[in-house]
Structure 1
Amino acid sequence: MALTHFVLNYVQEAQAAWQHQPTIIADDRFQDCILLVFGKPRTAVFAHLDSIGFTVRYGRQLVRIGAPRAKPATAW
């Protein structure tokens, strides 16, 4: 909850300088997520607030979220 409040406070303070004002959705429908919906056609920024920056691969390997590395020339 503290991170949710931090992000929502940041958005409230910063959005005055943004070219388009978002509709902010942060309620129980989306659990621990915040959605910022901008303009028409609609564009949404969706962020999961409980991600810690890593996910687990096979073999208990840690992979940074947003930067997976594939092994070159892996045969199936």
Structure 2
Amino acid sequence: MGTLDSLFISLGGPAEVGRIIGKSTEHAASMRRRGSIPVEYWPALVAAAEEKQIVDLTYEALVAMHVRAKQREATS
């Protein structure tokens, strides 16, 4: 899992991510489009990944995904 998009796919899409973080599908879809997930949602996402036995979603992986997204944004 190297991108925020792959995170959403692995967790089941915006509807499932929204359910995990306690927000609407549209809110989650907006985060996906923006390429940024606020830090306050990270614990819920990491916990959900653990429950789903997705071992490569860690806090470090989330940081790396956001850094790569910002780098791509800066070069666009």
TM-score past 0.5 threshold: no
Name the structure with the higher strand share.
1
Larger Rg: 1
TM-score between the two structures when normalised by the length of structure 1:
0.27
TM-score by length of 2: 0.27
Which structure: greater helix fraction? 2
